[in-house]
Chains A and B, each alone.
Chain A
Amino acid sequence: MKKVIFFILFTIVSIPTLSACWDTREVNDLAIAVALGIDKSEDKGYTVSVQILNPSEVASQTAGGGSGYDTPVTTYTSSGKILFEAIRKLTQQTPRKLYLAHLRIIVIGEEVAKEGIYNAIDFLSRDPELRTDFYIIVSKDSKAEDVLRILTNIEKLPANKLYESLEASSDAWAVTGKVNLNDLLNDIVSEGKQPVLTGIKIKGDPKIGTSPDNVQSIYPKAELVYDGMAAFRNNKLVGWLDEEESKGLNYVKGTVKSTLIVTDMNDGQVGIELLKSSAEIIPHFDVGSTPTIEVKITGEANIGEVNTNLDLLKDHVFSELEKKTNEKIKDNITSAIEKAQKEYKADIFGFGDKIHKEDPKKWEEIKTNWTEIFPTIQVEVKVDIKIRRTGTITNPFHNELSEE
């Protein structure tokens, strides 16, 4: 009797708890979003565009054969007063409920960025479904919506293309910045550091970019190209840094993994491949009330390409190359600092943060008007790059050959 009752009780409890849970969501019920775009809508709200994976198309290896070409992703757009409303409204269009955990990239429209990104960031960090490992970029001269409508070659998923090429360009060329949600939040709340986000541009005709024609021709008519970085003051976009300035910024932030520096030499060029670099920001407090900043860049480089007659094995050539490389890097950095100080008045380098870390008491005094102080501080840039090797050959073979 007792056992029977216990058994019945056990079964009653088990049936609702073990058979299924409230939160099961099968893969075929999900619309997996891989990219999210945030724009302003006409009525002061937000327009959200979501790139949704088309699983069957991604899985099939022989796309284009037989049944023809289906797009690997579909972009839906919807608007609402706040971000979450816009996203929920999307269910009116999407065939399934949106699943945001696999987001790779978030594109913030330039207009939204200019107005401020606080509101967008709040939702992104509050929703439990979202993770923090996606990158955040800003669309330049176009809407985020348009960026998410361009089809891409090789990487079938445009979101993956954006993700991978951001990583590649950041690692090998150092003109972009990988910023995920946590980094962005830390920069926004920090009083002594302003955020920067990489910009994305549509090159070519965005109209053609949306159709399969774009990927079926051998050269794409419309492409997504990373272009410079957007400087923010507090949460508003204040201006863009061009390629050289972005590089300068990355040197100071110490995020340069590898890049190439082209220096002029004997009416030709020499390409110096930077292999590693590190940056040190040293604040000095001694003179007056405003601190001065010393930026020290050290690193190692190889010679990557020589376009001129040059005897590399002569001892002064290396030191001359080093000097020119240093100057070039210094130029990049100074132009970036000048732009940030004079035009944007935004401490994107984190000098304030560094002062805070070195001398918290001093920082307490100046932090309230740091925005006014930052443009006036003196920055001294010291670059010391050591060139180590010359690649697999020594002197360029065209040294001995005549020009004709």
Chain B
Amino acid sequence: MLKSLGILLIFIAIAIFQIPQLAKEKMNKEIVIFSIFMVFTAVIAILKVNDVPIPNPLELIAYTLDPILNLFS
């Protein structure tokens, strides 16, 4: 719990640092993208520190490549 809170704090700090920069240049679309991205990353990070298994992207590649490799072997 403490870990999750710490991560949340770090993410908020980064948002406070980044969002005003974007707002100054009136990049509204970018702010939305940034926020979605940050929330997504924060969720993954919190899942990770709480030892929730996260799918491995390499497994995904392996899964898609397997049928192709089977053709050759």
Binding site for B on A (CB under 8 A): 2, 5-6, 8-9
B63 contacts the other chain (CB 8 A)? no
The interface residues of chain A lying within 8 Å CB-to-CB of B21 are: 2
In the complex, residue of chain A having the shortest beta-carbon distance to the beta carbon of B21: A2
**B14 to chain A: which residues have CB within 8 Å?**
9
- Inter-chain CA distance A8–B21, complex, in Å, is 18
Distance of A5 Cα from B14 Cα, bound (Å): 9
If over half of B's interface residues share one DSSP class (helix, strand or loop), that class is named, otherwise mixed; here it is helix
B68 at interface, CB cutoff 8 A: no
- Residue on B with the closest CB to A6? B17
Alpha-carbon gap, A31 to B13, bound state (A): 45
Interface pairs A-B: 10 shortest CB-CB: A5-B17, A9-B13, A5-B16, A6-B17, A5-B13, A2-B17, A2-B20, A9-B17, A8-B13, A2-B21
How does the 8 Å CB contact mask read for B14-34 relative to A, with 1 for contact and 0 for none? 101100110000000000000
Q: In the complex the two chains form, what is the Cα distance from A2 to B13 in whole Å?
A: 10
Interface residues of B, CB < 8 Å — how many?
6
Q: Which residue from chain B places its CB closest to the CB of A9 in the assembled complex?
A: B13
Residues of B participating in the A interface, judged by any CB pair closer than 8 Å = 13-14, 16-17, 20-21
User: Least Cβ distance of A328 to chain B in Å?
Assistant: 63
Q: Which residues of B contact A5 (CB under 8 A)?
A: 13, 16-17
- CA distance in complex: A9, B16 (Å): 11
**Cα A290 to Cα B4 with chains together (Å):** 73
A9 proximity list for chain B (CB < 8 A): 13-14, 17
Q: Inside 8 A of B13's CB, which chain A residues have their CB? A: 5, 8-9
Besides A5-B17, A9-B14, 9 other A-B contacts (C-beta < 8 A): A2-B17, A2-B20, A2-B21, A5-B13, A5-B16, A6-B17, A8-B13, A9-B13, A9-B17
Interchain Cβ contacts under 8 Å between A and B, 11 examples? A2-B17, A2-B20, A2-B21, A5-B13, A5-B16, A5-B17, A6-B17, A8-B13, A9-B13, A9-B14, A9-B17
Q: Which residues of chain A are near B16, meaning CB under 8 Å?
A: 5
How distant is A13 from chain B, measured CB to nearest CB, in Å?
10
A2 to B14, CA, bound (A): 10
Chain A: minimal CB distance from B58 (Å)? 26
Residue on B with the closest CB to A13? B10
What is the CA–CA distance of A101 and B27 in the complex, to the nearest angstrom? 57
Contacts of A6 in B (CB 8 A): 17
* Bound-state Cα–Cα, A8 to B16, Å: 12
How many angstroms from the CA of A9 to the CA of B20 in the assembled complex?
A: 16
A6–B20 Cα distance when bound, in Å, is 13
Question: From residue B16, how far is it (CB to closest CB) to chain A in Å?
Answer: 6
- How far, in whole Å, are A2 and B21 apart by their CA atoms in the complex? 9
Q: Which residues of A contact B17 (CB under 8 A)?
A: 2, 5-6, 9
CA distance A9 to B14 in the complex (A): 9
> A213 vs B20: C-alpha distance in the bound complex, in angstroms?
80
User: CA–CA, A377 to B30, complex, Å?
Assistant: 81
Alpha-carbon gap, A6 to B21, bound state (A): 13
Question: How many Å lie between the Cα of A2 and that of B22 in the bound state?
Answer: 13
Contacts of A8 in B (CB 8 A): 13
Q: How many Å lie between the Cα of A8 and that of B13 in the bound state?
A: 10
The smallest beta-carbon distance between B23 and chain A, in angstroms, is 12
Q: Nearest chain A CB to B45's CB is how many angstroms away?
A: 16
Distance in angstroms between the alpha carbons of A2 and B20 in the assembled complex: 9
In the assembled complex, the Cα of A9 lies from the Cα of B21 at a distance in Å of: 17
Collect the chain B residues with CB atoms within 8 Å of residue A2's CB.
17, 20-21
Q: Determine the residue in chain A with the shortest Cβ distance to B16.
A: A5
- Residue of B16, B17, B20, B21 with highest tally of chain A CB at under 10 A: B17
A84 to chain B: closest CB distance in Å? Answer: 29
A9 to B11, CA, bound (A): 11
Interchain nearest-CB distance for A64 vs B (Å): 59
- Output the nearest chain A residue to B9 by Cβ-Cβ distance: A12
Task: Looking at the assembled complex, report how far the CB atom of A15 sits from the nearest CB atom of chain B, in whole angstroms.
Answer: 14
- Given the complex of chains A and B, what is the CA–CA distance between A14 and B56 in angstroms? 30
Q: Which A-chain residue is minimally distant from B20 (CB atoms)?
A: A2
